[in-house]
Amino acid sequence: MTDAAAINIMSLSEAARKSLLDSYYSETGSEYSVGRVPMASCDFSTHVYSYDETPGDFDLKDFKLTTEDLDMKIPLLKQAQATAKAPLKIFGSVWTAPAWLKTSGRENTSGQLIGQAGDKYHKTWAQYFVKFVQSYEAQNVSIWGLTTQNEPIDGYIPMFPFQALGFTPASQRDFIAKDLGPALAAANLQHLKLIIMDDQRFLLPNWADTVLADDTAAGFVDGIGVHWYFDGLTPASVLTKTHNRHPDKFILSTEACQGSGIGQHKVILGDWSRGESYAQDIIENLQNWVGGWVDWNLALNTEGGPNWAKNQVDSPIIVNATADEFYKQPMYYALAHFRYSSLTGS
């Protein structure tokens, strides 16, 4: 549930909005059971923001959810949960820390946390995760899990064009062991599923090996997140290799979309090749120990946005707010197909 998806869904009339959510969450629809919500802004927002813009606020006294959460994402997540027959597994993913915690001093580009694991910058960042979960649960939205960072290698790409925060396998290991894991445990949130990496599978198995070699870090970790971009560079067998090395950790595909490649059309209505690519990737993942597959945006407009960084892509549902209608793409039907063959817990 990105800001962009929420904006598009909320742009529809009440009846059309209900029909769209039914298409995804009801027993007559795809019966989605897992979903991701960004922690503050990402590129699929209309502007860049974090939950605490006060420099030096190491106690996070000014931490607060935004109108994007309170007026759009949270109401829609509640409606989705009311539509679904079983509790939704919602996990949070973060794109950037507040600028005052980053080496670059900017939220809208690359950079890492200032300092090193165990210091006040890292402990403040760990508390940011805690406050996110507590704030959402105060609004009666249960959080099932967290990824430690969306695409952490982006934070090392010079002049990266949108929100990012860099971690290496070693720095992520240390952050989990010294800061994030203990912070979640101290807040009685150790039941949350903590997912490492959340990046491309060409980083496996090294990323998982490095983080999980540390017994303290491994004790806090439940799963490994993978994105589908650049899958052509690395065979799916690396997923099985990773599973065999770490059989007690699940693997979850946490992001995929079409139209993201250089020179690709962003939105192509009715393109079955894009639906076929989804189906092929899901099958390949399921054959290699991946337990779930999460799409990127629930709904985008006819231009593939909004996206403040002009990084538009395609989506299984495209909204035409002017006509108060939405279009189910072949990608939607490819995803819905697996409702009948891959039931939760099967």
Using an 8 Å Cβ cutoff, are 259 and 269 in contact? Answer: no
Residue reference for tokens 């959460």: 69
Q: Can you tell me whether residue 237 is helix, strand or coil?
A: helix
Query: CA 235 to CA 233: how far, in whole Å?
Result: 7
∠ CA 226-334-44, rounded to 5°:
55
Q: Which of 31, 255, 276, 325 is catalytic?
A: 255
Q: Can you tell me whether residue 73 is helix, strand or coil?
A: helix
Using an 8 Å Cβ cutoff, are 125 and 113 in contact? Answer: yes
Q: Is 137 a catalytic residue?
A: no
Distance between start and end Cα atoms, the chain: 25
Query: CA 91 to CA 217: how far, in whole Å?
Result: 19
Q: Can you tell me whether residue 131 is helix, strand or coil?
A: helix
Q: What is the DSSP letter of 233?
A: G
Pairing of strands 300-301, 317-320: parallel
Q: Is 27 a catalytic residue?
A: no
Which residues have CB under 8 Å from 273's CB, separation 6+?
Answer: none
The H or E element containing residue 317 is: strand 317-320
Cα 133 to the center of its chain, rounded Å: 14
Q: Which of 31, 68, 107, 151 is catalytic?
A: 151
Query: CA 321 to CA 335: how far, in whole Å?
Result: 24
Using an 8 Å Cβ cutoff, are 64 and 23 in contact? Answer: no
For residue 36, the cross-strand partners are: 91
Which amino acid is residue 51, in one-letter code? Y
Which residues have a catalytic role annotated?
151, 255
